[in-house]
Structure 1
Amino acid sequence: MSNPLKLGFPVKVLGNPALKSNDARRSQSNPHLRVSLGYLSDIFDYLVKHQISMYRMSSDLAPYATHPDMPQFHSMVQDCAGDLATIGNRARELGLRLSFHPSQFIVLNSPDPELVRKSIWDLTSQAEMLDLMELGPEAVMVVHVGGVYDDKIAARQRWVETWPTLPEPVRRRLVLENDDLRFSCADTLYVHEHTGVRLIFDHQHFWCLNPEGLDLRDALSSMLATWPSDVRPKIHFSSPRTELRQLARKNRKTGKAETVNVAPVWTGHADFVQPFEFISFMRIADGLEFDVMLEAKSKDLALIKLRPDLLRYAPDVAARFGLYPAQQKALEGEQESLMESESA
């Protein structure tokens, strides 16, 4: 393997709560992409310090840039062309793999053409940012197929029919992920066959939704094969939350609020990555190359916890990520230090 596989995390940095992922001020305060890029630069410093080479940027990096009622923000991305080029150059120099995962409100298969139009506008803005950063084809925007709308086959077909209407920068950056409730790996493979869109394999979603009974390695291999041979694919990995949940509900008989115990929902993400589950998956995937975006709720802390776990329990898997026994003590110390600062 020419280069170690990368581990990444999304958006929020928990190891240093002072770091902001985007300018979240309300419109009255005139938030700006330029402010967000300053925050992003600080996050880059954090990534370098902790030797993390993959990061998902906030989908709100350019605040209100596509808000239909706020035209004063619409030129924001172009106004920051120079700033985007500068930070993109820094990302390339640092070897950082960056991406976006637009919000759940981005729906390309809706029967409502206005919602589709707005979704395409948002995607166009994010693709423009990636292009102005001059990032390679590995810098993608991840979306889901969307809603079922009472007819899954028709809904899937609408996504296929929307594809050729997308601007070229969007088609070039867009990738499609299997989800946990509506559209399986088989569904996304169907969409790929009819569009050529690259696919993201999500491990937890695969186990939550696989009515076709696909074999894990076969599904993974098929989805990785949708990427060009010169671009390393990436996948998503998370462990299901297993803890008992406590919910506040109204008692139907008394009408009073009460706390009830509820079993876990397997679509929920755990705070950390269960190392033995991850190790087992990576051994099933032996010989396949892909970077891994960890979608644990503890974000960077989960990544920093997983690395010494891999060295302790599976040095063979750790080596695929460029981790070796000589690093064990330092990585354990880093994890303990961050956890102590987070709980302080």
Structure 2
Amino acid sequence: MRLGFAVKVLGAGGNQTTVDPVSVLKSNDARRWQSEPHVRQSIEYVAEIFHYLYKSDIHMYRMSSDFAPYLTHPDLPQFHHQLTEAASELAELGALARKYDIRLSLHPSQYILLNALDEEVARKSILDLNAQAQILDSMGCGPEAVVVTHVGGVYGEREESLKRFISRYKNLPEATKRRLVVENDDVSFSHSETMKIHEATGCPVIFDNLHHFCLNPEGVSMRDALTAALGTWPESVIPKIHYSSPSTSFDVVETKETGNTGRAKTVQKWKVPPTKAHSDFIDPMEFALFWEAVEGDKRRSFDMMLEAKAKDVALLKLRRDIARQIEFGAMRPIPGF
């Protein structure tokens, strides 16, 4: 099993207990359009990330959806040809990922809605999905490199919204369909509904454990949902799943209140976090129980994308925590972990 994390790299490396903010590695050229950002700069940043991942024995990574800045912006055509302009550099970056055995993925933002009611929103979303797939193609990535998307909005008509996703998916370019996978979410569309999309289109399903915990009206067990999702992937491709722990920390909220003197003052209050919020780290006890629940199944092997706010630091800590349990004899070794 390969473990991975998303986008931001805190860069702790061998420092196991503290993180220096200046060690954070940039993941994309984030300059405003007036400063003429370019994917070439993002390539330089991500190459440094790949070197760091290799040194840290991390072999899966989600690149920023802004890797190629303003690539599909309708009012900034000067950015539309970046992938062609940087073709050789993209190929070199892909070769570096293959050399280091780093599995890559992209996950467009929540504003990418393939099933949108508004045709213009859907059109722009399709352009973005096509561009994300083209990035991975330009890097020469194999079929394990995927573009992850959610179903989108319900818009008061669940079945019609599912049908719109299915219809538009079927009309996507083949190059985009080869990369696209659909993930269950925590608010709108459950695992069972993503399975309906797979049955209608063949689109592979990403299983997300926290989303399944938050939205599972069909009452499908974690193990059964995972097994079903793994079975949607082509036999020649190792599936991947998303794993996270819910936040257990209060959110600090600042509000303005009028005091006894009539003057406004800032007051801090503690707010209970929503269950769907990701924690900074992965709870190792929870992970051990999850693995115990699914490990005995005669299922396919899979890779795991950790969605934790502490990013690579969370991954490295989980590795140490689980290694200790294996050392105690409380868990069997996890291949590739």
Q: What TM-score, normalized to structure 1?
A: 0.89
**Higher helix fraction (1 or 2):** 1
Q: In structure 1, how many angstroms separate the alpha carbons of the residues matched to 2:89 and 2:266?
A: 52
Q: Which stretch of the first structure deviates more once superposed, 309-318 or 224-233?
A: 309-318
Q: In structure 2, how many angstroms separate the alpha carbons of the residues matched to 1:210 and 1:298?
A: 27
> 1:248 aligned to 2:254?
yes
Kindly report which structure 2 residues correspond to 1:1-344, keeping only aligned pairs within 5 A, or say none: 5-15=1-11, 17-250=23-256, 257-286=266-295, 287-288=298-299, 289-314=301-326, 319-323=333-337
Deviation at 1:250, TM superposition (A): 4.7
| Aligned residue in 2 for 1:333 | none
Structural RMSD (CA) = 1.7
Percent identity, aligned pairs only, is: 50
Unaligned runs of 5+ in 1: 324-344
Deviation at 1:157, TM superposition (A): 1.4
Question: Are 2:115 and 2:161, in contact at CA under 8 Å, matched by a contact in 1?
Answer: yes
Question: Are 1:279 and 1:314, in contact at CA under 8 Å, matched by a contact in 2?
Answer: no
Question: Are 2:11 and 2:52, in contact at CA under 8 Å, matched by a contact in 1?
Answer: no
Question: Are 1:77 and 1:125, in contact at CA under 8 Å, matched by a contact in 2?
Answer: no
The 1:252–1:158 alpha-carbon spacing in structure 2 relative to 1, beyond 3 Å, is: farther
Unaligned runs of 5+ in 2: 13-22
Total equivalences in the alignment: 319
Q: Deviations over 1:253-309 (max 9, x none)?
A: 988653222222101100000011111111222143110000000000000100010
Deviation at 1:97, TM superposition (A): 0.3
Q: In structure 2, how many angstroms separate the alpha carbons of the residues matched to 1:20 and 1:244?
A: 29
Deviation at 1:244, TM superposition (A): 2.2
Provide the secondary structure at the position in 1 that maps to 2:178: helix
Q: Deviations over 1:282-339 (max 9, x none)?
A: 122214311000000000000010001001124575732435xxxxxxxxxxxxxxxx
Q: Which stretch of the first structure deviates more once superposed, 84-93 or 61-70?
A: 84-93
Question: Are 1:7 and 1:321, in contact at CA under 8 Å, matched by a contact in 2?
Answer: no
Question: Are 1:270 and 1:297, in contact at CA under 8 Å, matched by a contact in 2?
Answer: yes
